[in-house]
A and B are shown apart, each in its own frame.
Chain A
Amino acid sequence: MFEYLIFFFFAAVAVIFALVVILHRNPVVGALSLVVSFFALAVMYVLLDAPFMAALQIIVYSGAIMVLFLFVIMLLNLQHEKEPSTRPVQQWLGYLTSSAFAISLVYYLGKYAVMSGALPVPFIADARAIGRRMFEAYIFPFEAVSILLLAAIVGALMLTGRSEQRENTSGEVIR
């Protein structure tokens, strides 16, 4: 019973703050709302008996990726931007795809979701179990991840390195 209370509270938090992200005009408020939404998701992971995932969700998403988002917002100095109005075709396409997605979501949830007292725990997701699986059964994907991260490092430098020549011409930036 109590679990449901916590679940529905944080589900509401997650949805409301996700809505703020897309509806609020100020991008910084949006980014911070997304952090709150991520935190609510982490609580769900804990409720699903996957605390390790919950911790990583906060450390990687809230702690690292959202800081990057904030930096991007401050880098571009976005504020109360009035967006140029989109074409009607784009709007209708947007409505169509999102409603199609919503309908299919409701349909599949109704078909497969289980609303029973006991939460089915299909896997044990603590750090030890994940470690055993990853370092015994999935060695190759694990090493492949390091190649992926290596590519990401090179990509990160390529993305940001080009502006180096232009840096001196504008005195408007904070360093």
Chain B
Amino acid sequence: MTHSYLPILIMLAIAAVFGATFLSLNWVVGRHQRNPSKLDPYESGVPLLDVNRKRVNVRFYQIAMLFIIFDIEAAFLYPWAVIYREGALSSRATAMFLFTEMLVFILLLGVGYVYVWKKKAFDWK
């Protein structure tokens, strides 16, 4: 079944070639008239005030960490979603079993979610 993934690789390659072509075409055809003020960073028309690469707020880091955790949770949901229908339709006991299993999983993480909510990590100031 591996070869059914090949077209995706081909599409990626085509997209890369496409981007490279356009960029180089522009390089070849476009004008080349440089001067120092043209190459300055844009600062609404005033001279550069201070460094441009500033440090970012720790909140972004926090959001990224929470994202990883919930993303991993989502990763566990996919295999469950795939087997659930078949299992649930086979017998009522299996349905209850699979449902409770995931309910416990989600509720346990729900505790964490409530904790984050109470800690006001979702509130940007």
The answer to whether any beta carbons of A and B sit under 8 Å apart in the complex is: yes
Q: Residues of A with Cβ closer than 8 Å to B?
A: 3, 6, 43, 46-47, 49, 51-52, 56, 59-60, 63-65, 67-68, 71-72, 74-77, 79, 127-128, 130-132, 134-135, 139, 142-143, 145-147, 149-150, 152-154, 156-157, 159-161, 163, 167, 172-175
Binds A, one of B17-25, B27-35, B36-44, B108-116: B108-116
List 5 A–B pairs whose Cβ atoms lie within 8 Å, in order of A's numbering: A64-B68, A143-B108, A156-B62, A161-B62, A161-B119
Q: Secondary structure of the A side of the interface? A: helix
**What A residues does B57 contact at CB under 8 A?**
75, 167, 173-175
Contacting pair B2 A47 (CB below 8 A): yes
A149 and B2 form a contact (CB under 8 A)? no
- Beta-carbon contact of B68 and A131 below 8 Å: no
Which residues on A sit within 8 Å (CB–CB) of B113? 153
Q: How large is the interface on B (under 10, 10 to 19, 20 to 34, 35 or more residues)?
A: 35 or more
Contacting pair A150 B112 (CB below 8 A): yes
Q: Is the CB of A154 within 8 A of B112?
A: yes
Chain A nearest CB: distance from B7 CB in Å?
A: 12
A64 to B71, CA, bound (A): 7
- Bound-complex Cα distance A52 to B75 (A): 10
Q: Which residues of A contact B92 (CB under 8 A)?
A: none
Q: Are B112 and A67 in contact (CB under 8 A)?
A: no
Pair A150/B55 contact, Cβ less than 8 Å: no
Whether A135 contacts B56 in the complex (CB less than 8 A), given A149-B72, A156-B66, comes out as no
Contact residue among B5, B64, B67, B80 (Cβ-Cβ distance under 8 Å from A135): B80
Tell whether A60 pairs with B67 under 8 Å between CB atoms, given A77-B53, A153-B112, A160-B58: no
Alpha-carbon distance A153/B114, docked complex (angstroms): 11
Q: A71-B56, A77-B53, A173-B54 are in contact. Are A127 and B79 (CB under 8 A)?
A: yes
**Contacts between the two chains (Cβ within 8 Å), count:** 146
Which of A76, A131, A146, A159 is close to B105, meaning CB atoms less than 8 Å apart?
A: A146
C-alpha gap A72/B1 in the complex (Å): 39
Using A77-B55, A153-B112 as known contacts, say yes or no to A130 and B79 having CB atoms under 8 A apart.
yes
Residue pair A152, B69 in contact (C-beta under 8 Å): yes
Q: Nearest 5 A-B pairs (CB), nearest first? A: A131-B79, A153-B112, A131-B83, A156-B65, A146-B108
Contact pick for B72, options A60, A131, A167, CB 8 Å: A60
Which residues of B lie under 8 Å from residue A67 when comparing CB positions? 64, 67
7 more contacts with CB within 8 A, not counting A3-B2, A67-B67, A160-B61, are A64-B72, A79-B53, A128-B79, A132-B83, A154-B112, A154-B115, A175-B124
Would you call B64 and A77 a contact (CB within 8 A)?
A: no
Verify A135–B79 contact, CB threshold 8 A: yes
Taken together as a complex, chains A and B put the C-alpha atoms of A142 and B55 apart, in Å, by 38
Residues of chain A lying within 8 A (CB to CB) of residue B87: 135
